[in-house]
Chain A
């Protein structure tokens, strides 16, 4: 979602900065020394800003991950790298690996197939309600995976809509997982590819047409090459998200449909084979590292010189039957793929044995003594509290990191940038598992404290905060601060008068994303949330795990609550997003 937008916005700045960095490296050592002397104060400040995020990631990310590696490969006082081959040699593990890869590939291909026409329509066509629709298709991306799973269960599962109407059940097939993945990632492709497509100058194609290219040839020779890197980046993001998919597969995947992430959870929480789980974690970590590496490479490649124009100028009304049909097709896809599952979810939450009503919602307030130690409704308050705390942590850590990264200087800082993105792709289950095995002894015995859950959730929220804040911070012209200084503002005052007003909005948006992500976080939370303090997604999963109409209905009701909160948060953010920063636009 925002990765797409921020990457495009980031690009110009990055390029200039990288160029400057390269230039500096090329110069003689004497120059570097001189440079260091004049910017020493700035470097010291940067290192100071970086200290807190680095410590945070060291303790709550690197340490748990390292501990997992040790747990899996360091047996009886010696490193046993052969363990990896042993585990990978097991036929059921090989089956999991194979399924993880092919379902991710299939999900990615299906997502591209369905979403690319959408990207084109959103980029080039102007139609009433476009803004609203753009926000609507983004809603799934911030929805908790548990809600997505539940919604598709209500649509395709036993007693689901299709089952009732035509007796069709897809929850025992892989199609349920694939469709849920498409639902989830539709916006990634529409925003990443469509965002760039909208800014490509149509006159480039016109120039090719004037030089004798046919309409198709012009598109193939001019537009397609410009889009390929964006499509590749989007595909890699979708692949990454589906490769590490947990909540969706956990709920929709029948026996035999298990991803690495689900298997890690199963080995840890059910079979209690920590050593195998650790090996799988290492394998997943390596795979994610590889994917992120390739993604970073394509982003770099994408920094080719493209003629970008204001997106508002390239869209126009559809013309002719073909274009109207395309628009209609995309709208129908959005309705069937995005609105229908969410609609069914709401309908199921209201459809009680005694007719439509709020019985399931009311039942959330009762402690039935079986599934929960507390009434499910308490999960709402738990979730809100945890998410607020996690948002606070993520904004502070992410804000400091973004401030430190504003002026990129050298490899060290760039490495830090990449490090911050890791938790986005590294499995949440890994993080939760790592917390469980490392933060249980003094001085870091946090197992009994409530802060453990927000800490894990914040880890997932920080990358969003950094990605949202960074382009805005980088866009603040340093000379505005100088202008303030010359007019008599001290450095602190200048920051307050110049930076803060510009950053305030981005800060709110970042906080909103961190909140939505924290609220829906499932993989890590399911490990570490205490039984008497479940969060909303954990409560939903637990209700679904039990038989009976009441539990099913309550799961639907809780999911509806969660969906409404997340969707409301996102729609609020979309309204706040600046139309176009007016800095330096003269």
Chain B
């Protein structure tokens, strides 16, 4: 049985459904990441589970028990807020011990658990520091320790790394993943950052306008975006209308090969940048001008402008990258092309 279950959960603000008939299950020890643009309802989802936002329809169950009417402080779930919400008038130790105190733990118990948790999050001996004096990363660690301290059956994280700078974020996401794995914590996190979601989660749930657009392992979602919205949200721009016949499709870029067994007829296709290969003019299916190039660390992203078709993004190795203004030939690789399900246009 799932630890957390949402059945047809609905929340409306005014006439607008912020959560629209959402069904979601999180198994014990699973790390689920809800991914979506701002305003897609992901934070509301967490608040509904925490009991901070009453549902207008449907149900939230924890351990199979309906939580309707159970107030937030009796649900036994942890929530790490987007901007941490550390209590400014308490020191680090006071913050971490707060949940333990609410649950009636003895002073000794509190002290030892606080010590243990601060060591766990990499801030040993920080009990008496003022929270205002902490850096963003340290605050994030304290917030995590505070949320973990009462041993919640479900830990929820709202944009856990949102306000930190890039390199710190990339390091912390790995630490978090290892930590949750070691502790066996069940985690429901929300983020708008796909990199963060894919690095953290066992399963990714993509939300759009209060509904679940796609759910699956990071690999599944990455390789096979359900529709144009998910594809574009993941950062793919080579998405065009197409008409599929057999193993090829008519597109603004001309005929493009598609994998065997693709759905037939009019639709939308995604060409991943890796599927746009630069070839000698003789083998070219399409001729483009290099409009711009962006250095991406391991590769270069090329923005290619065909004569009269939408721009095309290609990935190519550093050394082979042509100069802006150069004319290049392009061929497509069926393995990197996905025929998308017809979803509502974004």
Q: Is the CB of A574 closer than 8 A to any CB of chain B?
A: no
A483 touches B13 (CB 8 A): no
Q: Mark B150-174, 1 if CB is under 8 A from A, else 0.
A: 1000000000000000000000000
Q: Which residue of B lies closest to A479 (CB)?
A: B85
Contacts of A477 in B (CB 8 A): 85
Q: Is the CB of B303 closer than 8 A to any CB of chain A?
A: no
A502 to B52, CA, bound (A): 22
A38 touches B54 (CB 8 A): yes
Given A27-B14, A30-B15, A488-B102; A483-B73 close (CB under 8 Å): no
**A583 contacts which of B14, B76, B88, B103 (Cβ < 8 Å)?**
B88
Contacts of B77 in A (CB 8 A): 486
B72 touches A34 (CB 8 A): no
Contacts of A485 in B (CB 8 A): 51-52, 71-73
Q: Chain A's nearest CB lies how many Å from the CB of B282?
A: 59
What is the total number of residues of chain A having a CB less than 8 Å from a CB of chain B? 33
A35 touches B52 (CB 8 A): no
B79 touches A486 (CB 8 A): yes
Q: Mark A21-37, 1 if CB is under 8 A from B, else 0.
A: 00000011011101100
Please list the residues of chain B having a beta carbon within 8 angstroms of any beta carbon in chain A.
12-15, 50-52, 54, 71-79, 81, 83-85, 87-89, 98-99, 102-103, 132, 136, 139, 146-147, 150
Instruction: List 26 A-B pairs, Cβ < 8 Å.
Output: A31-B13, A31-B15, A34-B15, A35-B14, A479-B81, A482-B79, A482-B81, A482-B85, A483-B79, A484-B98, A485-B72, A487-B73, A487-B78, A487-B98, A487-B147, A488-B102, A490-B71, A490-B73, A491-B71, A491-B73, A497-B98, A502-B89, A582-B88, A584-B83, A586-B83, A586-B139
Contacts of A497 in B (CB 8 A): 87, 98
Given A30-B14, A501-B89; A586-B98 close (CB under 8 Å): no
Contacts of B12 in A (CB 8 A): 34
Q: Chain A's nearest CB lies how many Å from the CB of B13?
A: 7
B15 touches A28 (CB 8 A): yes
A483 touches B85 (CB 8 A): yes
Contacts of B150 in A (CB 8 A): 487-488
User: A-B pairs with CB below 8 Å: how many?
Assistant: 92
New contact pairs (16) apart from A32-B14, A485-B71, A488-B99, CB-CB < 8 Å: A34-B12, A34-B13, A35-B13, A35-B14, A479-B81, A479-B83, A483-B81, A484-B87, A485-B72, A486-B75, A486-B78, A487-B146, A487-B147, A488-B102, A497-B98, A586-B132
Contacts of B98 in A (CB 8 A): 484, 487, 489, 497
Instruction: Provide the main secondary structure of the chain A interface.
Output: helix
Q: Which residue of B lies closest to A41 (CB)?
A: B54
Q: Which residue of B lies closest to A480 (CB)?
A: B85
A-B pairs with lowest CB-CB distance, top 7? A31-B14, A488-B102, A487-B99, A485-B72, A483-B85, A486-B79, A582-B132
B50 touches A486 (CB 8 A): yes
Contacts of A486 in B (CB 8 A): 50, 52, 72-73, 75, 77-79, 147
Contacts of B85 in A (CB 8 A): 477, 479-480, 482-483
**A480 contacts which of B74, B78, B87 (Cβ < 8 Å)?**
B87
Q: Is the CB of A498 closer than 8 A to any CB of chain B?
A: yes
Q: Which residue of A lies closest to B134 (CB)?
A: A586
